[in-house]
Every structure is written in structure tokens, then in C-alpha cells.
A and B are shown apart, each in its own frame.
Chain A
Amino acid sequence: MKDFDVIVVGGGITGAGTARDCALRGLSVLLIERDDIATGATGRNHGLLHSGARYAVTDRESAAECISENMILKKVARHCVDDTSGLFITLPEDDLAYQATFVESCHAAGIKAEVIDPKEALKMEPSVNPGIIGAVKVPDGCVDPFRLCSANIVDAKLHGAKIALRSEVVGFIKEGDTVRGVKVLDRSTHQVTDYYARVVVNAAGIWGHHIASLAGVNIGMFPAKGALLIFAHRVNGMVINRCRKPANADILVPGDTVCVIGTTSTRVPYEECDNMRVTPEEVSLLLSEGAKLAPCLEHTRILRGYAGVRPLVSADNDPSGRNISRGIVCLDHESRDGVKGLVSITGGKLMTYRLMAEIATDTVCRKLGVEATCQTAKLPLPGSEGGGLEKIAKKIWDVPTTAQKALVGRFGAGAAHLDFGEDKGGVICECEEVTVAEVDAAAEYLDVNDLVDLRRRTRVGMGTCQGELCACRAAGRLAKANGCASKARNDLKAFMRERWKGMYPVAWGETLREASYTQWVYSEVLGLNED
């Protein structure tokens, strides 16, 4: 079939959420992604489930969106969310007077914000800087963006959506001023195919600027690079923020077995968006500011650095982009530019994706004259149905092992459907406790093409060893699943290069030590660099 009600461009969280919402409302959907799911900003942020407190003072609208979505995701995406709660701390160098304004603004936006005694805060979160002079507790949390994106894709597919990964939109099919479809390059076969739809939704993040230009429309965007560092330990249990106007490196978010400090905000040219690299200056800034939040970071091993590009829509002349609203922008290009059949959904945040999808889908439905209400605020994502993770694990296994609990953490209730046959119990990734069963399931059901895709679905290679041994095991398993060892071998090379890209900017101490071992194994022992 090449004819759809809606084509969604972009396999990030916004595109995935929009495809799911459209499919749930009975529309026929094709999602087109040029690479893999969650390759852009979706997979390159803090993984922070904002309470909205960060924006309460400066951006009331975003703050209100955040707290409302925060509460929704804690229900419908519970297997992707860790409800840690968060602290906004005041350091001696910060103005304590800001705290009152902050709390007041939080309350006005509907965010529960509780001033607590600094000593109490230290008890709640022992990693926090002991020098704090003020602390406010807010309902922040963390969210696994890969899992969230994958769950949306899975549910979209369950409701009939077609997903085309490694497929790039190279042009629009237009009749006069009406968009009728898109020309899509299959990046594996290099063939271009025409796909038709009554509405095309541009949900390509920062690349949405380019997509819109292909349709002859200009969206003035502001590519704001944000760099982050991942540490090898989860030093903090709660999210730690600075209680001040949003600035660089003032959020420390725990996630799974690690924690993440970020971000910076720098305008970058569009051409650089495809290859973001973390600079030494950014590393120094993140480290020195991070240590102010949690001093132990100074001695904690850094796993890697990475950077994403926020798809902000430019407003005024703001060199860093800090003052641009993180709010949602939905553009109907018919009313805005006279181009019919094209909608762009951009701005927003990872954790407001559901609302973005709802707004985009509402617009689509209005255009198509479809009356169907949005269900995503109530309907749990696959994996989040019923009970907590412990409960789900106990339903499947009498006494779940830690690997099985980790599995439920990633697949939610879906873990029950995995094949645990005779050959599947082996552990591929010891850091993240990923089993053969899980890797096979990802290869079979989750559109995994290579090791990097597999990492996004299963966390293989995301742990402290950064893929030292598991990458090779997983490559062997994928070679089996795909029946092509030479591809798996090249994928393994690409995977090791990709892992190194993140370690390179922080290559000293334990990180360099681990890298030197990995280089020994892959060059000397495996000879992966030889033919």
C-alpha cells in the first residue's frame, strides 16, 4: 500500500507519538524515519521527566504543560518512568531570594513545590552539595527516552501503522499548492518510492527545517546544541537542579545505573546537526558546574559525552537560545503559508511529546474531517498495563532474577511474550543484564538493523564497560538473526567507533583505562581492524 491518510516524517518521540495517536484514532499511518528511532534529540538529552519547575519563573506556559504531562506519563508510561522526585538547591553563591519567587511561580503553574530544610535535603539526597543554603522538593522524575519511543512505535504498529526506518524524505509530491505525498529514498536499496497521503506531518525535530524547505516552506528554527556527560554510577537518587534562572550544566538526573549532567546551550549551524561532537570546553564546564551540584562527581568515572540539538523555533535575537520558549509549536502550513496538506509539529520537550502528538493529530483530524477523540492521556503504552514492575515480574516468574527484573523494566508487561527457549538464557551484556532472549526479540519485533539500533532498544553496551565484551556477543547473535556475518562485522566496527566518539572527549582516568583495554581486545585479540 502506498496510499495513507497520514504520513508522519520523523521517528523521534514526537513522530512516534503522533503516529500512535493517529493510528489510535483510526487513521491509516506511515511513519518515515531516515535513520533509526530516537536518533536525534529524543535520545540525546537528560531523560528528565520535568515537573515544570525549571520553567515556572521564566516560561509559565511550558511549566503548566510539563506538570500536566508529568502526571499523565507517570500513569500511561510507568515502565519508562522512574518517579525519583527532584530538588532545587540554592548554593551560597546563588540568591536565596529567588527561592520565594520560584516557589510562588511553581504554585501558580500547579506544581507542588515544598521548601525543605537544607539538612533534611541532605538526608534525602546524600550526594547533594553539603554547602546548600536552600532546597525545594518538586515532582521531577526521569524517563527512558529510548524505551518511551520504542513503546510508542510498538503500539502504533499494533494499531496498524506502517513504520519505514532507514528511509529518507527527498522531496514532496505536490499538485499546485497542495501536498499529495512524499518521495522516499530507501537507504538500503537506494530506490526512490512515491508515497501518498492526505496530510503529511513534519515531526523531524531540527531536521524539520529542511523537510519544510523541501515543500517550499520556511520555518525559522534555532538549532541549540546541548552537551551532556554520563557518569558510570548513579550518584544521586533524586534529580538535582539549581534554584536560579535556567543556565548551563545545572541539572543532574539519575537514570538506570548512571547519572547525567547537562546541558550547555549553543547555537550551531544546520550543517553540523548531523554530527554533534562534545568539545573540551564543554566538558570542563559540565564537570566544574556538575561538581557544584554533587561534589562526588569530581571523582566519578565519566562514561561518555554526547550532544543533541533542540528543535527550538526562533523568536528574537537570542545568541544562546536560553530565552526561547520550550513550548510547543504546531504550524498548519495551509493557513500560515498557503501550502495545503502539510503540518509541522516542533518545539516542545521530550516529556511533552504526548501533548505535541495530540495537538498535531487534532490538526490532522480537523483537516480530514475525522471526529475521534484523543485517548493517549488515558490509554497505557504497551508495557505499562497493570501493576508496577515488581508485580509484573512476579506474574511471569515466581522469583524473578535481577536480569528478569531488568527485562521487565525495559519491556514492561511485554516481557511475558519473549521466547525463553532452550538457547535464550545466556547473558549478552553483563552491565545491563541483557539476555539472548531480549536481543533476539529486538531483532525480530523491534526493527533492529544494527548494533547501534539494538543499543537503543535494549541498552546493550550502555553500561560501565561501554560495549567492551557485549558488543561482540550481540554482533554474533545479530549475525545469526540476520544471517549475514559480514554485515554484523561492519556493524560491530561502526558500533565501536560510535562508542569511542562519546569517550574521546573525556579520555582520561578510568575512561581512558577502559578504552585502552577495549582497544587491546578489538585490535590485538579480535583483529577487527585487519582483513
Chain B
Amino acid sequence: MRFDTVIIGGGLSSLVCGIKLQKAGERCLIISAGQNALHFSSGTFGLLGRLPDGSEVSEPMKSLSFLPEAHPYSKIGVDKMTEYVAGVPDFFESCGVRLHPSPRSGELGMPVNGYRVTPMGSFKPGWLAMDEVTLLQSKDDISWSRALIVNFSGFLDFNAGFIAEGLSRRGVECRVEAVTIADVENLRRNPTEMRSIGIARVMGKESNWKEFGSKVRELVKGEDLVILPEVFGLGDPVIIQWLREMIPAEVMFVGTMPPSVPGIRTQMRLKKSFEAAGGTFLQGDTAVDPLVENGRVISVHTVNLGKLSLSADNFVLASGHLFGKGLEATPSKVYEPVFGLDTDFPSDRKAWCDEDFFAPQGYDGYGVVCDELFRPSIEGRMIENLYVVGSEVGGCNSLYEGSGAGVAIMTAMSVADSILAGR
């Protein structure tokens, strides 16, 4: 089978690249193994929250010049970064994903980091937030005096106590309540069903979210803030808006333990948009056995399709970091398993990790070695028609920087442009 572009991996960077190409008339195939980082999303996209030296970033675009040369943002360059960043909200809007920035918007729509309340009651910087997620102007942007935090009885993946503790440290008086409705009680018969996604499915039914909403409404006793878990609007986020209208206080949704309902909704919508534009999405399959000749990828195969070869003009590798199995580690090396691309990592394994769990980890910055256009190499020889996007690109510690989504989107935009420019 022949495509214009074959993309390996089904996460954020893959979908953004695929949608952009497909909408420009390219025939794309995405090979997706299964879950990706969107399933474990925080509900916000980060562009840059912290510099490698640890200093906090307020306006990411103003901090780009402090990034090292090997950083993917530095490879894209300030001009292109500015163009891409400005276009992101509209791009996602056109895919049915509404993202909103921090209320403190910058000049010409340039991003200013806002803060999200985490499930532990702490504050994390973010660039753009998904439907239900509230971005505060700053960690001290707390104008509420009393909060009501409502959980579902028996839902262990949302700990109201931690959120209450975090907010009360900032002067908000908190009250915690639990409610339930019949269909959620039914879920509890099988204890492992009581997870975010299970509840979200049940709450998609109109009678259910309405019953829940009115129970919450009855609980409100003069509080000016109501906090609910992010388990609503999996299929249609309009439920979130209706709940906000039903409840006589400002409503803030806070994340649960994974899987992430807003993240999965975003993934589903992006996938739908890609397919609506004519793209082919191969679910639950893994790319193997690439044919590489004279510095070009000719074709790849997949586990399920067997001998059927998938050829294309261009290939994009978007298979993720260690967790996505885009990279693998043995005691002596970090390697890329599909093509055997050159990777960058120190040979001394002691440098891979920090003894402190919460310190930045060296391994997070390892990845595939790429040129300015994100083209990788095999044993030093550049592969002309293969591009790498997302967390697999080396050169930045995206978990520490809070740049995971930003790197995914920016590299995907950049690579899509390179492919389109080469037509």
C-alpha cells in the first residue's frame, strides 16, 4: 500500500502532523500502538514552564533565547515558533478541540503561563487548557473565600482532602462532600470499574449528569466555588457548560488519577478530525521491519499486516519516549527500536537517573539525534525522508521544563511544513 506520508505513533505530535498534512492534501497513514501521553494528560498543554536552570518561566516566548542550541525550540527558531504558537488555538478549534489560555493574555496573543490546581492541591504552570480546566493568572490568584469540593462516594482516584488542604493554605475555607447516583453505585459492584473513565461514561447520560448536578446544587450553602472531579463531557464537553450553569457558584474541575477524561476526549476528537480529513488511522498495530536504502526509507511493515508493505514518500516517527516504547533502554544503551536511529545518551548509566525521585532525571532528555529539520541518522548517515517529532526528539528534559505538549505540537508543525515544502 502506498501513502504520501506514513506516521508511526498515534499521540499528540502524530495527530497534529497528520491533520496538518492531510488538510493540505497529503494522503497520510497513522500507525498507532494504543495509548499515548494524551491518555495521561494533565488537562493542560505546557509550552515552557521552567528553564533548564530551574528558573520559572512566565512568558515562554521571551525565554526561548535562554534554551540550549540542541533544544527542539532552538532548532525551529524564534520566528517559526512565534508563527506556530499563535496558530495553535485556531488549529485545535478547527479539529473540535477548544483550548483556552490564561486570563492574563500577552501582546499579540503571545502565551503567558497560567496555573492549574493539581489533584494534590498544588499549582502547575500551563499554556493552554482543555474545556473544563481552569487556568489561574498566578498561584495567588485566589479570589474565593469558601469552596465546596464534591466527590463521588467510593471514588478513590480523586482525593478531595488534598485539594482542600492546598486551597486552605491559601486562605480558602473548604468543605468536602460525597454524593452518588444509582448508575455510579452500580459501577461500584465491580471495584476496579470505579475509575475516572468508567464514571465519565456513566455521566454522559443526560439523566445522570442532571441528577448529579442537582444534588450538588442542593449541597451548596453559600460557597463561591465548587470543585468537581474531571469526569464529565467525555463525548461532548457541552455537559461541562451545562453543569456550570446549574450550580450556583463558580465551578472548577480538578484532575483525577489517570486515565485523563479531558486528554482522552482531545485524543478522540483529533483522531476523528484526522479521519474526517481522509486520513487512515491504524489502531492497535506496531511498525516493524523498515526497508531503508541509500539514506531513504522505502517502506515499513506492521505486526498485524504482516507481509503487506507500507510505502510512502515521507515517514514520520512519533512513537514517544521510554513510556511510549519509542525508545528502549538496556543496562548499557538507550536505543530507538524501529529503525535503529542514532541516539544521544551518556554511556555511564549513573548519569541516567538522579537518586531523588523528584529531581530532574537525565534520561528524560535523551532521544534521537536530529538535524535542524528533525531528520535523524543511522550510524551517522542522515535519512532524507524520515522525520522525528514529539518526545522522541532529544535535547530537552520536557518533564522538568513542562514543555511536553509544546515540543509535540511545535515539532509536528515544523515537520509538516518541511514535508509540504518538499512537494
Contacts and interface: CB of A to CB of B under 8 A. Distances in A.
Does chain A bind chain B?
yes
B150 to A, nearest CB: 15
B244 to A, nearest CB: 23
B357 A524 contact: no
B366 to A, nearest CB: 11
A507 B352 contact: yes
Interface in B271-326: 321-323, 325
B219 interface: no
A513 interface: yes
A473 interface: yes
Given A513-B323, A521-B258, A530-B124, A436 B156 contact: yes
A516 B327 CA distance: 12
Contact of B153 (A423, A476, A492, A509): A423
B162 interface: yes
A507 B353 contact: yes
B364 A516 contact: yes
B331 interface: yes
A492 B119 CA distance: 13
Nearest to A493: B358
Interface in A473-526: 473, 475-477, 479-480, 485-486, 488-489, 492-493, 496-497, 499-501, 504, 507-509, 512-513, 515-517, 519-526
A504 B154 contact: no
B257 A469 contact: yes
A312 to B, nearest CB: 28
Interface stretch (B66-74, B102-110, B186-194, B369-377): B186-194
Nearest to A514: B323
Contacts of B399: 519-520, 523-524
A508 B331 contact: yes
A485 B162 contact: yes
B37 to A, nearest CB: 8
Q: Which of B194, B329, B357, B361 has the most CB of A within 10 A?
A: B357
Contact of B161 (A423, A427, A476, A529): A476
B3 interface: no
B349 A517 contact: no
Contacts of A338: none
Contacts of A475: 159, 162
Given A469-B257, A513-B325, A504 B355 contact: yes
Nearest to B160: A476
B257 A473 contact: yes
Interface of A: 280, 403, 423, 425-428, 430, 435-436, 469, 472-473, 475-477, 479-480, 485-486, 488-489, 492-493, 496-497, 499-501, 504, 507-509, 512-513, 515-517, 519-531
Interface string B98-131: 0000000000000000000011111110000000
Interface in B345-364: 349-350, 352-353, 355-358, 361, 363-364
B159 A476 contact: yes
Contact of A425 (B121, B188, B323, B353): B188
A527 B120 contact: yes
A211 B400 CA distance: 44
A530 B329 contact: no
A479 B257 contact: no
A472 B257 contact: yes
B411 interface: no
12 contacts: A280-B349, A485-B121, A485-B161, A496-B357, A500-B356, A507-B353, A508-B352, A513-B325, A517-B40, A521-B258, A525-B118, A531-B122
B322 A528 contact: no
Given A428-B156, A530-B118, A489 B162 contact: yes
Contacts of A427: 191-192
Contacts of A521: 40, 257-258
Contacts of B121: 485, 489
Interface in B139-177: 153-154, 156-157, 159, 161-162, 164-165
Given A435-B191, A476-B156, A528-B118, 12 more contacts: A427-B192, A472-B257, A475-B162, A489-B121, A489-B162, A493-B358, A497-B356, A507-B363, A508-B329, A508-B349, A521-B258, A528-B122
A528 B161 CA distance: 14
Contacts of A480: 161
Contacts of B356: 497, 500
Contacts of A509: 328-330
A497 B358 contact: yes
B191 A527 contact: no
Contacts of B394: none
A479 B159 contact: yes
Contact of A523 (B328, B329, B352, B358): B358
Contact of B119 (A428, A504, A515, A525): A525
Contact of A526 (B119, B165, B188): B119
B40 A525 contact: yes
Contacts of B192: 427, 430
Interface centre among A427, A489, A519 (most CB of B within 10 A): A519
B124 A527 contact: yes
A531 B139 CA distance: 9
B343 interface: no
A419 to B, nearest CB: 14
B260 interface: yes
B255 interface: yes
Given A426-B188, A469-B258, A517-B40, A527 B162 contact: no
A401 to B, nearest CB: 9
Given A504-B353, A530-B118, A513 B159 contact: no
Contact of B330 (A423, A489, A496, A508): A508
A397 to B, nearest CB: 15
Nearest to A497: B357
A288 B330 CA distance: 15
B60 interface: no
A165 to B, nearest CB: 24
A531 B120 CA distance: 9
Contact of B122 (A472, A477, A488, A530): A530
B11 to A, nearest CB: 13
The 8 closest A-B pairs by CB, nearest first: A476-B159, A527-B118, A485-B165, A500-B357, A427-B191, A527-B124, A530-B122, A485-B161
Nearest to A470: B156
A426 B402 contact: no
Nearest to A401: B191
B42 interface: yes
